[in-house]
Structures are given as structure tokens and as C-alpha cells.
Amino acid sequence: MTNPFIIGLTGSIGMGKSTTAAMFAQEGVPVWDADAAVHRIYAQGGAAVDAIRAICPSAIVDGAVDRDVLKDWIGKDPTALSQIEAVVHPLVGQDRAEFIADADAPILLLDIPLLFETGADDQMDLVVVVSAPADLQRERVLARGTMSTEQFNTILAKQMPDAEKRKRADVVIPTETMEDARAAVSAVIAKVKERLSHA
């Protein structure tokens, strides 16, 4: 089989990325989710468990990686994040490569929150960014009740600004409404299929 056409999906927190990824899945496009891959490698028996144990033994609880312990460590030790990333990024990359190798579909979607930040955009055939106005983004995140305004601002500060992501995208999907997002997803898939039919 020829190599699948790979769409990279990204967007800042609260922009509707997971919802948009689900819309691609509903249209029959297999989706690989970077966050889910991290959960897999952190779970009991996961690929990251021994490597994380080697750098932060207290982070292994009941045979799995405890993300709260890692968060505490990152808060206390400025070198922690780079040590964790050195373990996690190659394993997540391996998980992604296996997904691509095993997938039997002409189009695949990779849902990667830090697509630009990790340089993975270079490996995509098409980069799609989900975007919504900043006030709606803030409202969505705070409505989840899982983080404070302060935590939200900290995450935003670490992510590439939305305007920069939109500038670097091949396609921007607006997510103010479900209808807008769904129409844009269908349009992207139709365009890719047309491109593949002429390839």
C-alpha cells in the first residue's frame, strides 16, 4: 500500500481540538492522539515506566507513572521537564510510527498538541490548526472546572500563540460552532481525497 496522507491537527488549549479530531474519526479517518499515547506508555506495563523509574523513582506508583508526582518534580527541579521529555518524546514517536505502519487507510489524522513546538509539523502532509476567539477559549477551559485562571495562563504562556499557529497552518478550522467545525472538517477531507485521486 502507498504511504497514507498524514494530517497533523493541533491547536491551543480550549480551542476544540479533541472535538474536531472526533469529527475526523466520524468521517472514517483513523486518529492517533498524542495525549492518549502518553497515557499508554505511563500505564502499568507501559514503555516509559522503567525509564521514568530510573530518573524519578517516587513517580512510579502501583507499577504506573503518577503524573502528579512528575508535576511536583517539574515544579521543584528546573531540569526535570527536559529529563522527562528525553524519555517520553522518543517513546511517543515510536507509538506514532507503529500507528502509521499498522493503519490501513489512505488518510490518517495525528492529534498532536505540541505539533509546532516539537517540530513534528515537518513530517505532516497537511497541518490543520483549530482556532476560536480568545474569550471563548478562556470560557471553555474555565468551564471545565479542572483548572484555575492562573493555571490556564501558565499553560497559555508555554504554548505557541494562536496567531502564530494560524500563520503556520495549511488550514485553519474555526470552532466557534460545531456546524462551522464540521463543515470545515468535511471540506478538508474532500480536498485531500481529491488531491489523492490525482496523485
Answer whether residue 98 shows pLDDT above 60: yes
- Digit-coded pLDDT (tens) for 168-187: 999 999 999 999 999 999 99
Confidence of residue 1 (pLDDT cuts 50, 70, 90): low
pTM for the predicted model, two decimal places: 0.90
Count structural domains, the chain: 2
Q: Are residues 111 and 157 in the same domain?
A: yes
Instruction: Give the model's pLDDT for residue 109.
Output: 98
Answer whether residue 91 shows pLDDT above 80: yes
Are 31 and 25 a contacting pair, CB within 8 Å? yes
Q: Are residues 113 and 167 in the same domain?
A: yes
Instruction: Give the model's pLDDT for residue 155.
Output: 85
Distances (CA, A) of 167 to 68, 121, 145, 170, 177: 34, 13, 31, 8, 21
Q: Are residues 76 and 170 in the same domain?
A: no
Q: Are residues 42 and 88 in the same domain?
A: yes
- Digit-coded pLDDT (tens) for 30-64: 999 999 999 999 999 999 999 999 999 999 999 99
Q: Which domain holds residue 193?
A: 1-30+105-199
What are 54's three cell numbers? 530510573
Answer whether residue 199 shows pLDDT above 90: no
Q: Are residues 68 and 145 in the same domain?
A: no
- Residue 70, number of CB atoms within 10 A of its CB: 21
Q: Are residues 49 and 92 in the same domain?
A: yes
Among residues 68, 102, 136, which one ends one of the domains?
102
Q: Are residues 66 and 10 in the same domain?
A: no
Tell me the CA end-to-end span of the chain in Å, nearest whole number.
Answer: 14
In this structure, of 152-156, 162-166, 194-198, the range with the lowest mean pLDDT score is: 152-156
Answer whether residue 69 shows pLDDT above 80: yes
Confidence of residue 158 (pLDDT cuts 50, 70, 90): confident
Q: Are residues 89 and 179 in the same domain?
A: no
